[in-house]
């Protein structure tokens, strides 16, 4: 579905990523791990459209990606993913309002009620049904990330990008969030690319784990060589189990 | 307990805050009484009674020349100028600051211009304003606007530029256009900052108002102060200064309350 062909990311002299060639299948949960500075986040930004690759091409469903972020790719960052001036409900409805009201970016009357119902349903799915009128500053980090996920999912993105989404959460909350994202991934049939520095998390959640690192290193010019995919591990046994599980319990 | 760890209760804060003001007032009265003991006709430090009677004339008796109650006419004239100046400056800060902060091409084009205007001391422009706009109200309002708008614009634009990049990207992934981003992401987050900028600009705005009135006016708080200075009329100047201070404090308080009421999300404590 998403395919990267010989993608390079360079900032001036500094090569961050080199020769990245990847095909990400529909419904995959791809974890990206690697040491700090190995370009995990750069890879995510390139897929997101926030940064442009200096070479190579990226296609989504066969079409080249437009050069800026769009509603076909949702994102959840580690922080600042939700808008502080909107309530939980406002944050979730925003995506719907932007799509249906190009000029006012607000909905009224029955259209608003409809969007509200849709947002409430999505918030119930992430476990925020009781917090509709809270502002993000009144919520814990875990709740904010739940909100960020609901906000992204309401647009039904083709691909959901997670940039260390659970990195700032404490272990108990993180376990809850793992269960949540796994459930949503299954229920909504999502395609997810998640960057993390927690190897356990990467293997626990992913159906495929990519490891980024530098293949070559020049100690006199560390910026000379970029990182590439050094391990590409398909967790096939898990994917099989997943498939049989969904076959046994048709939705 | 070390001072950095002390918490001050509400009642205690009122008491402590009132103390220096009370000391100031008592000190003044003691000094004034001492001068009057030496010279009953002293004008430099008038006693409260003298101030009250001088002010009563301005407050309640119509001026024989103009037929106006001077104190109220002065207050109205000054507040009108100040209000217009602050209003125009705030509106332009909102419009210019917002697009300057949110749209890189606009920032690249007009940022240096705003910076250039901001570094000019506004009082140096006063003669030009008088020449261009005449000695009427326009020049005085224009001085206030030119005096505070560049600061407010730059403050607001800086705030918008500093919004986390993640927020902008998130809005784009939700399908926002530039216009929608301005309207739903930048504008609401600009409002509390705009009010804060306005609050900080109150002081300079008063300076420019009083300066303009001192130089060319026939009514206004600043005009009156500089007029009666010729007669060494401290019994009028001091109450006028206190009145200006009270007006400024009231405006500051009203702005703070407005911001808390209208933009509560910006004042809620984070975790």
Q: Is residue A57's pLDDT more than 70?
A: yes
Please name which of A84, A69, A81 lies closest in space to residue A126, comparing C-alpha atoms.
A81
Mean pLDDT for the stretch of residues B103-107? 93
Q: Is residue A251's pLDDT more than 50?
A: no
Mutate: best of A70, A83, A150, partner B, most B CBs <10 A: A83
- Residue A98 CA to residue A105 CA, distance in Å, equals 5
Looking at the partner chain, which of A75, A79, A102 has a beta carbon nearest the beta carbon of B169? Answer: A75
Mutate: best of B165, B170, B194, partner A, most A CBs <10 A: B170
How many other CB atoms are there within 10 angstroms of residue A186's CB atom?
A: 16
Instruction: Classify residue B137: in a domain, yes or no.
Output: yes
**DSSP 8-state code for residue A14:** E
* Same domain assignment for residues B75 and B197: yes
- Sign of the dihedral through C-alpha B197, B200, B206, B209: negative
Please name which of B1, B28, B4, B2 lies closest in space to residue B242, comparing C-alpha atoms.
B28
The answer for A 71-110 residues in CB contact with B (under 8 A) is 71, 73-75, 77, 79-86, 94-95, 97-99, 102-106
Please answer yes or no on whether B169 and A73 come within 8 Å at the CB atom. Answer: no
* Same domain assignment for residues B25 and B67: no
Residue B138 belongs to domain with CATH number:
1.10.3720.10
Mean pLDDT for the stretch of residues A208-213? 91
How many other CB atoms are there within 10 angstroms of residue A184's CB atom?
A: 19
* Same domain assignment for residues B117 and B9: no
* Same domain assignment for residues B127 and B61: yes
In A, minimum Cα distance to B185 occurs at A83
DSSP structure string for A22-65: EEE-TT-EEEEE--TTSSHHHHHHHHHTSS--SEEEEEETTEEP
Instruction: Classify residue B211: in a domain, yes or no.
Output: yes
A247 pLDDT tier (thresholds 50, 70, 90):
low
Instruction: Classify residue B138: in a domain, yes or no.
Output: yes
Q: Is residue B24's pLDDT more than 90?
A: yes
- The confidence score (pLDDT) of residue A68 equals 85
Q: How far is B147 from chain A (nearest CA, A)?
A: 31
Instruction: Classify residue B222: in a domain, yes or no.
Output: yes
Chain A residues with beta carbon closer than 8 angstroms to that of B270: 137
Instruction: Classify residue B99: in a domain, yes or no.
Output: yes
Mean pLDDT for the stretch of residues A142-151? 92
Mean pLDDT for the stretch of residues A88-93? 94
- The confidence score (pLDDT) of residue B82 equals 96
Task: Select the more confidently predicted residue: A37 or A49.
Answer: A49
Q: Is residue A249's pLDDT more than 70?
A: no
pLDDT in tens, A172-184: 888 999 999 999 9
* Same domain assignment for residues B155 and B238: yes
- The confidence score (pLDDT) of residue A33 equals 92
pLDDT in tens, A68-86: 888 889 999 988 889 999 9
* Cα Dmax for chain A: 65
* Same domain assignment for residues B38 and B160: no
Q: Is residue A38's pLDDT more than 50?
A: yes
A165 contacts chain B (CB < 8 A): no
* Same domain assignment for residues B40 and B104: no
Looking at the partner chain, which of B166, B184, B185 has a beta carbon nearest the beta carbon of A79? Answer: B166
Q: What angle do CA A28, A33, A35 make, to 5 degrees?
A: 165
* Same domain assignment for residues B65 and B13: no
Q: Which domain holds residue B12?
A: 1-45
Please answer yes or no on whether B185 and A48 come within 8 Å at the CB atom. Answer: no
What is the SS3 string spanning A118-165? HHHHHHHHCCCCCCCCCCHHHCCHHHHHHHHHHHHHCCCCCEEEEECC
Please answer yes or no on whether B170 and A151 come within 8 Å at the CB atom. Answer: yes
Chain A residues with beta carbon closer than 8 angstroms to that of B265: 84-86, 135, 137
Query: In whole numbers, what is the pLDDT of chain B averaged over residues?
Result: 92
Strand partners, A163: A195
In sequence order, what are the residues at sequence separation of 6 or more whose Cβ sits closer than 8 angstroms to the Cβ of residue B169? A48, A50, A69, A75, A77
- The confidence score (pLDDT) of residue A110 equals 92
Please answer yes or no on whether B268 and A137 come within 8 Å at the CB atom. Answer: yes
- The confidence score (pLDDT) of residue B269 equals 62
**For the whole model, what pTM was predicted?**
0.87
Q: Is residue B271's pLDDT more than 70?
A: no
Q: Is residue B169's pLDDT more than 80?
A: yes
Instruction: Classify residue B41: in a domain, yes or no.
Output: yes
Q: pLDDT > 70: what percent of chain B?
A: 99
- The confidence score (pLDDT) of residue A209 equals 92
* Same domain assignment for residues B10 and B76: no
Instruction: Classify residue B35: in a domain, yes or no.
Output: yes
* Same domain assignment for residues B120 and B35: no
pLDDT in tens, B190-205: 999 999 999 999 999 9
B224 pLDDT tier (thresholds 50, 70, 90):
very high
Chain B residues with beta carbon closer than 8 angstroms to that of A148: 170
Q: Is residue A124's pLDDT more than 70?
A: yes
Mind listing the domains of chain A with CATH numbers? 1-72+157-251 (3.40.50.300), 83-155 (no CATH)
* Same domain assignment for residues B23 and B51: no
Instruction: Classify residue B271: in a domain, yes or no.
Output: no
In B, minimum Cα distance to A142 occurs at B271
pLDDT in tens, B127-149: 999 999 988 899 999 999 999 99
* Same domain assignment for residues B79 and B175: yes
Question: Phi/psi zone of residue A19: left (φ > 0), alpha (ψ -120 to 50 degrees), beta?
Answer: left
In chain B, the number of structural domains is 2
Q: Where are the beta strands (DSSP E) in chain B?
A: none
In B, minimum Cα distance to A98 occurs at B176
**Residue A111 backbone phi and psi in degrees, to 5:** -60, -40
**DSSP 8-state code for residue B270:** P
């Amino acid at each position: 579905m998403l395919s990267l062909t010989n993608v390079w990311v360079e900032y001036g002299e500094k090569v961050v990523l080199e020769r990245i060639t990847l095909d990400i299948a529909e419904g995959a949960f791809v974890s990206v791990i690697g040491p700090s500075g190995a370009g995990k986040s750069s890879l995510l930004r390139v897929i997101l459209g926030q940064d442009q690759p200096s070479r190579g091409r990226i296609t989504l469903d066969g079409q080249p990606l437009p050069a800026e972020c769009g509603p076909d790719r949702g994102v959840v960052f580690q922080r600042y993913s939700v808008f502080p001036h909107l309530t939980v409900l406002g944050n979730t409805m925003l995506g719907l309002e932007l799509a249906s009201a190009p000029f006012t970016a607000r909905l009224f009357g029955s259209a608003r009620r409809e969007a509200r119902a849709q947002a409430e349903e999505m918030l119930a799915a992430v476990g925020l049904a009781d917090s509709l009128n809270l502002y993000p500053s009144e919520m814990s980090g875990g709740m904010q990330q739940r909100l960020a996920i609901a906000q992204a999912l309401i647009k039904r993105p083709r691909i959901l990008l997670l940039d260390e989404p659970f990195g700032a959460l404490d272990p108990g909350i993180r376990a809850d969030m793992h269960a949540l994202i796994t459930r949503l991934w299954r229920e909504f049939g999502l395609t997810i690319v998640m960057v993390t520095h927690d190897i356990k998390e990467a293997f626990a959640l992913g159906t495929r784990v990519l490891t980024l690192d530098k293949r070559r290193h020049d100690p006199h010019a560390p910026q000379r060589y970029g990182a590439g995919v050094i391990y590409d591990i398909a967790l096939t046994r898990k994917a099989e189990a997943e498939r049989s599980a969904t076959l046994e319990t048709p939705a | 307990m070390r001072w950095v760890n002390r918490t001050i209760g509400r009642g205690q804060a009122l008491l402590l805050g009132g103390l220096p003001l009370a000391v100031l007032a008592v000190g003044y009265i003691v000094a004034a009484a001492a001068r009057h003991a030496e010279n009953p006709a002293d004008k430099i430090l008038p006693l409260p009674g003298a101030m009250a009677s001088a002010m009563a004339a301005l407050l309640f008796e119509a001026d024989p020349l103009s037929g106006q109650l001077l104190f109220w006419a002065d207050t109205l004239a000054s507040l009108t100028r100040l209000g217009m100046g602050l209003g125009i400056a705030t509106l332009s800060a909102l419009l210019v600051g917002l697009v300057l902060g949110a749209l890189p091409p606009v920032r690249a084009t007009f940022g240096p211009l705003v910076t250039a205007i901001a570094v000019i001391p506004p009082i140096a422009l006063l003669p030009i304003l008088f020449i261009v706009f005449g000695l009427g109200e326009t020049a005085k309002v224009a001085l206030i606007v030119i005096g505070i708008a560049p600061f407010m614009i730059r403050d607001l634009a800086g705030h918008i530029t500093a919004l986390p990049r993640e927020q902008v990207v998130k809005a784009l992934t939700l399908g926002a256009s530039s216009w929608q981003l301005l309207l739903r992401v930048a504008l609401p987050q600009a409002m509390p900052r705009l009010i804060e900028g306005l609050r900080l600009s109150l002081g300079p705005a008063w300076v420019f108002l009083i300066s303009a009135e001192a130089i060319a006016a026939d009514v206004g708080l600043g005009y009156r102060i500089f007029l009666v200075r010729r007669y060494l009329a401290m019994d009028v100047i001091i109450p006028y200064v206190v009145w200006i201070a009270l007006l400024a404090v009231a405006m500051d308080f009203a702005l703070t309350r407005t911001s808390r009421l209208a933009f509560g999300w910006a004042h809620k404590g984070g975790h």
